[in-house]
Chains A and B, each alone.
Chain A
Amino acid sequence: MTIDLTTITIAGARDALRTKKYSSVELTRAVLLRAKEKNATLNVYAEFFDDAVVAAENADRMIAEGKDTDLTGIPVAIKDNMLMEGKISASGSKILMNHRGVYDGTAVKKLKDAGAVILGRTNMDEFAMGSSSETCAYGPVKNPHDVTRVPGGSSGGSAAAVASVGALGALGSDTGGSIRQPAALCGVVGLKPTYGAVSRYGLMALASSLDQIGPFAKTVEDTELLFRAITGFDLLDSTSVPESKRGKPTHKEKLTIGVPESFIAMDGIDPDVRENFRSIVARLKDEGHHILPVELPTLPSALAVYYVLMPAEASANLARYDGIRYGLSKEAQRLIDVYTMSRGEGFGKEVRRRILLGTYVLSAGYYDAYYNKAVAVRRLITEELLRAFKGVDVIATPTSPSPAFALGEKTADPLKMYLEDIFTVPGNIAGVPGISVPSGTVLRGNTALPVGVQFMAAPFGEDTLFAVGRAVERIREFSR
């Protein structure tokens, strides 16, 4: 039978699989076919796995035996920075192009155990450093809504895979916005869970105090299904938070939504994006939710804090890529030359820039002025946000300051690129969860480009984010 992929969701496919409307093998073949067709122009996947159909056969068996979960038989994609046993994971870098995972990362393993079918690994900015997926060693990813534009990043491949129905869901990682921003630019839902909610075991570290794995999907419901499957305490990640310390979800019919007015009024925010955001907030108010202006004066400093802490942590984390145990390795007589030559050739320009920045802010004489100061400001921002959540359930902002930009538009100026993360970085700095939900489109010429609204909540407030996300979906459904 032919499967209609245009409106397909994970929840819908799960029901169809359970009622035997089609099998996982049929679904997997259909989605793979579409993904491969699209890949020629979009460059979403670095690699398709040839054992996907075998995984689908196993899933069909699980369903036949009544051992299925919500994700059994569902074709998903995984960002190229998560380890999978026996598979290459390159983190979009030349230095790891021949590197094979020795084990499954926890989030991947949980998806596999749930019966999800992993179609392949998706392209990304090298080592997740970027907001456009242009620094990928496998070439840039294109936005499915306009192939002359970027999909956002760094998890651009995962976002574009879901947007182009080259997968029904995907995993990404988010250090400063790398799930939420591409979700917004590709018109899908993306969740950065609370720091400690999802195990990072098997995720290649960028900045360990900020990194978090999260899902992409077409709908909030699907995003929630993926999140439920990957969250949980894991002894193998020392930052994983035990279930007993996560608090109980609260359910409210009407939410109090905080809007940081002066943050949103800042220069550099696209007027169309701002207008779209205001109209969504107004509609939420019409639906009976309470809108409350909040003052978060330190929030605009979050981006500067981020660009001290992230390079500092990255410079330490990426020290392991030295050409000795895996990856690209240049031959040289002296060991030190193996290091400098392998890293000099293996790392791309942006990665080198950030490692040097991190090395600088951590060096004697500058450590106090940059790193220690940033850590202190981080604490202020965190306290400010946590205080705000005593008065509001969620804080709303646009997800990104502009819609998808043209390929090459921001590659020459790192600061321009970094500003893409202005609204998403605070969530990582404070470790709170954030979700990006499609909020409509803005016009560029004749092309309608998707934009997103972001909501942040108190730690482990993912349920509140799903509730407000569904409210936005209902509004948009109604206005169609």
Chain B
Amino acid sequence: MKAMLRKEDIEHLGTLARIGLSEQEKTELLAGVEAVLGYVSNVSGVVTDAESAPVAGSLRNVLREDGEAYPGGAWSEAILANAPRREDDFFKVGQIL
């Protein structure tokens, strides 16, 4: 399994990952990503059977007991203090479409 990547693939990955890349970075990243993919392809050589088929991890759901809910707005000011742009008690975002 040898990953053959083109610059357009890097561009596409950048779009999927929401990372803007310059032309020079695309070239640099192409080499790096390809080298690492070549290395990690080693995993395909390890024999795994049905027993070791992927399973969901050991995560479990954690529910809080009913009762002490946070009072509304208790943390709003501290959280919004980090907001790059805010309007009243809201995060302000640009046009979506």
Chain A positions near chain B (C-beta within 8 angstroms)? 98-100, 102, 209, 235, 238-239, 298, 301, 304-305, 307-308, 315, 319, 322-329, 332-341, 343-345, 347, 349, 352-353, 355-357, 359-361, 363, 369-370, 372-377, 379-380, 383, 413-415, 418
Would you call A334 and B54 a contact (CB within 8 A)? no
Provided the pairs A307-B39, A372-B54 are in contact, do residues A356 and B19 lie with their beta carbons within 8 angstroms?
yes
A477 CB, nearest partner CB in chain B, Å: 40
Q: Chain A's interface: helix, strand, loop or mixed, by majority? A: helix
B67 CB, nearest partner CB in chain A, Å: 13
Chain B positions near chain A (C-beta within 8 angstroms)? 1, 3, 9-10, 13-21, 25, 28-29, 32-33, 35-37, 39-44, 46, 48, 52-55, 57-62, 64, 75, 78-79, 81-85, 91, 93-96
Would you call B94 and A376 a contact (CB within 8 A)? no
Residues of chain B lying within 8 A (CB to CB) of residue A418: 36, 39
Residues of chain B lying within 8 A (CB to CB) of residue A377: 43, 46, 48, 52
B66 CB, nearest partner CB in chain A, Å: 14
Would you call B46 and A301 a contact (CB within 8 A)? yes
Would you call B32 and A353 a contact (CB within 8 A)? yes
Would you call B10 and A335 a contact (CB within 8 A)? no
Residue in B20, B36, B41, B75 whose beta carbon sits within 8 Å of that of A414 in the complex: B36
A sample of 26 cross-chain residue pairs with beta-carbon separation below 8 angstroms, ordered by A number, consists of: A102-B78, A238-B60, A301-B42, A307-B40, A324-B91, A326-B84, A335-B94, A337-B94, A338-B93, A340-B14, A344-B19, A344-B21, A352-B21, A352-B25, A352-B29, A357-B36, A359-B16, A370-B43, A373-B46, A373-B48, A376-B52, A376-B54, A377-B43, A379-B54, A413-B35, A414-B35
A124 CB, nearest partner CB in chain B, Å: 20
Would you call A324 and B17 a contact (CB within 8 A)? no
A171 CB, nearest partner CB in chain B, Å: 23
B18 CB, nearest partner CB in chain A, Å: 4
Cα–Cα distance between A415 and B38 once the two chains are bound (Å): 10
A167 CB, nearest partner CB in chain B, Å: 27
Would you call A326 and B17 a contact (CB within 8 A)? no
Would you call B48 and A380 a contact (CB within 8 A)? yes
Residue in chain B with minimal CB distance to A301: B46
Cα–Cα distance between A305 and B39 once the two chains are bound (Å): 10
B12 CB, nearest partner CB in chain A, Å: 9
Residue in B79, B81, B84 whose beta carbon sits within 8 Å of that of A323 in the complex: B84
Q: Give the top 6 A-B pairs by smallest Cβ distance, nearest first.
A: A344-B20, A329-B84, A326-B82, A340-B20, A375-B54, A376-B48
Would you call B43 and A374 a contact (CB within 8 A)? yes
Cα–Cα distance between A383 and B52 once the two chains are bound (Å): 10
Residue in chain A with minimal CB distance to B96: A335
Provided the pairs A327-B84, A349-B28, A356-B29 are in contact, do residues A363 and B16 lie with their beta carbons within 8 angstroms?
yes
Cα–Cα distance between A332 and B91 once the two chains are bound (Å): 15
Would you call B85 and A305 a contact (CB within 8 A)? no
Residues of chain B lying within 8 A (CB to CB) of residue A102: 75, 78-79, 82
